[in-house]
Amino acid sequence: MDLKESVQTPELTKKLLPIILATAIFMQMLDSTILNTSLPAIARDLNESPLDMQNAIISYVLTLAVFMPVSGFLSDKFGTKKVFIFSLILFGAGSLICSLAQSLPQLVVARMIQGLGGSLMTPVGKLALIRTFPKHELLRAMNFAIIPALIGPVLGPLVGGYMVDYLSWHWIFLINIPIALLGIALSLRFMPDYKSQIIDFDLKGFLIFAAASLLLSIALELFGNTVHVTPVLVMLLSGFLMLYFYYRHASSDDNPIFPLSLFQVRTFRVGILGNLATRLGISSIPLLLPMMIQIAYGRSAVTSGWIVAPMAITAMFGKSAVIKILNRFGYRGTLMTNTFIIGILICSMAIPPAHSSIYWYMPIIAILGFFNSIQFTAMNTISIADLRQYHTSSGNSLVSVNQQLAIGFGVAFGLIVLKIFEGDVKLIHNDIHNAFRYTFLVVGILTILSGLIFRRLHFKDGDNMKSDGR
């Protein structure tokens, strides 16, 4: 199927395609949230420290960031249908291997296999959606695709907690397999098979960009696990140097994997930067809060799951309201105000003292879920609002890479800040709960400041994405 055939897509396919994409996002969100609440139990079984288990999360995110850039090329060459089905198979197989892991290194390798599947799964599904729907229908289609997937965070902490407490942590990975099979069954019949006649893979650019992503991500992760700062700083600087080399390469190459002309589009440029800065603060909360409930309050994984669950439930209400909000206030006003509210909510998690009830966090996390939902939909859609057809593959891939890399940075950043405060005994008065409180303050303030990025949007930016919301 050529790219121009997207306008002839059957109505049944247009109705079911968001559901197919939802199965992919559902698995990723379910998998990540289940793992967050289960890390202490997995650490005990594998004889590891809970604070070192972020390797199992970050290894997955790093794999996504490294291999997502090839998703557009593979889709153009082999077709969105074949690549998407292959990614589901790979993700399901990786989940099975995760359940069989006997050590942390084995789990990390298995998570990388999952990451290979995930690196193609979501971006290819989104690419098919973008090429199927016209711009004025795309916001509604993408929003609908994410609504069913939000069930994942609801089930994740609860199902993960119950499985850990009453079965074993191995089942948190096995639950992905039936979902993957459902996605494969739907894709075989309804996933459109878009291809491109122009195929030219920038291998050199891919290798340079992948090296930069790895160096930056690993350096940030190592900041929280080593007392030897100098080697980590060298690695960090090397990552930025590789980004400079990619810039030089993209300036002279005829068809770079990520054309620099993408950044001449203001909405894309602001969307990418805002997504990165905002998620640096937001992404650590789903990990830090369950960890605090279990470590500082000494509660079970099930209890921490119930505390986090409202975040996903209210997110579904946010998805139902985001179209009306964006149509009324525009992308600029919505993103600036929404980011400020999210930052204030994160800071408010530092208010309850150690002797307070853990249920004080439930209304905060519930309200946070609503505004997070609006934030993610707005940031993701404004990034692709003004992309031309020839930039769709590369732009969509870069948005996906940026999003996953930001999540990895956010998780690592939150843990780094936590460990810094944990090591300052005088400041926290030898109370781990105070370390979490100061961490929430730092993360919240960073999120508030990140909202200034969206000031660069024009008040009419995103008007072409407006939908009637039906």
Structure-model confidence comparison of residues 197 and 82, the more confident one: 82
Do 252 and 268 sit in the same domain of this protein? no
Q: For residue 278, what is the domain's CATH number?
A: 1.20.1250.20
| Distant-in-sequence, close-in-space partners of 356: CB < 8 Å, separation ≥ 6 | none
Do 189 and 312 sit in the same domain of this protein? yes
Do 67 and 210 sit in the same domain of this protein? no
Question: What does each C-alpha distance from 329 to 54, 138, 322, 340, 463 come to in angstroms?
Answer: 38, 18, 10, 15, 11
User: Which pLDDT score, from 0 to 100, does residue 439 have?
Assistant: 92
Q: Can you give the residue range of the structural domain that contains 247? A: 202-256
Both tokens of 239, joined, read: 């990552």
User: Which pLDDT score, from 0 to 100, does residue 149 have?
Assistant: 62
User: Average pLDDT of the chain?
Assistant: 82
Instruction: Please count the structural domains in the chain.
Output: 2
| Averaged pLDDT for residues 107-122 | 89
Side-chain-side CA neighbours of 163 within 13 Å: the count stands at 21
Task: Give the tens place of pLDDT for each residue, 175-212.
Answer: 889 989 998 999 998 888 888 776 678 888 889 988 88
Q: What values do phi and psi take at 280, rounded to 5?
A: -60, -30
User: Which pLDDT score, from 0 to 100, does residue 221 have?
Assistant: 65
11 pLDDT more than 60 = yes
In a domain, 470, yes or no: no
Do 320 and 349 sit in the same domain of this protein? yes
| Distant-in-sequence, close-in-space partners of 420: CB < 8 Å, separation ≥ 6 | none
Q: What percent of the chain has pLDDT over 70?
A: 90
Domain boundary residue, one of 229, 256, 283: 256
Do 212 and 310 sit in the same domain of this protein? no
27 and 146 Cβ atoms separated by less than 8 Å = no
pLDDT band at 82 (very low <50, low <70, confident <90, very high): very high
SS3 content of the chain, % helix, strand, coil (to 5): 80, 0, 20
**Predicted model pTM:** 0.79
| String of DSSP letters for 285-303 | HHHHHHHHHHHTS---HHH
Sign of the CA dihedral running 324, 330, 334, 337? negative
Do 218 and 363 sit in the same domain of this protein? no
Do 261 and 125 sit in the same domain of this protein? yes
pLDDT band at 89 (very low <50, low <70, confident <90, very high): very high
Task: Give the tens place of pLDDT for each residue, 267-308.
Answer: 999 999 999 899 888 888 877 888 888 888 888 777 877 787
How far apart, in whole angstroms, are the C-alpha atoms of residue 350 and residue 333?
27
Domain boundary residue, one of 222, 238, 256: 256
Q: To 10 degrees, the CA torsion angle through 422, 427, 429, 430?
A: 20
In a domain, 250, yes or no: yes
User: Which pLDDT score, from 0 to 100, does residue 1 have?
Assistant: 43
User: Widest CA span of the chain, in angstroms?
Assistant: 67
pLDDT band at 351 (very low <50, low <70, confident <90, very high): confident
Domain boundary residue, one of 192, 221, 256: 256
468 pLDDT more than 60 = no
Do 222 and 277 sit in the same domain of this protein? no
From the number of C-beta atoms within 10 Å of its C-beta (0-12, 13-18, 19+), residue 470 rates as exposed
Do 449 and 311 sit in the same domain of this protein? yes
Do 379 and 432 sit in the same domain of this protein? yes
pLDDT band at 4 (very low <50, low <70, confident <90, very high): very low
Q: H/E element holding 436? A: helix 432-450
DSSP class of residue 103 equals S
Do 195 and 242 sit in the same domain of this protein? no
37 and 160 Cβ atoms separated by less than 8 Å = yes
Do 452 and 400 sit in the same domain of this protein? yes
pLDDT band at 8 (very low <50, low <70, confident <90, very high): very low
How far apart, in whole angstroms, are the C-alpha atoms of residue 452 and residue 459?
14
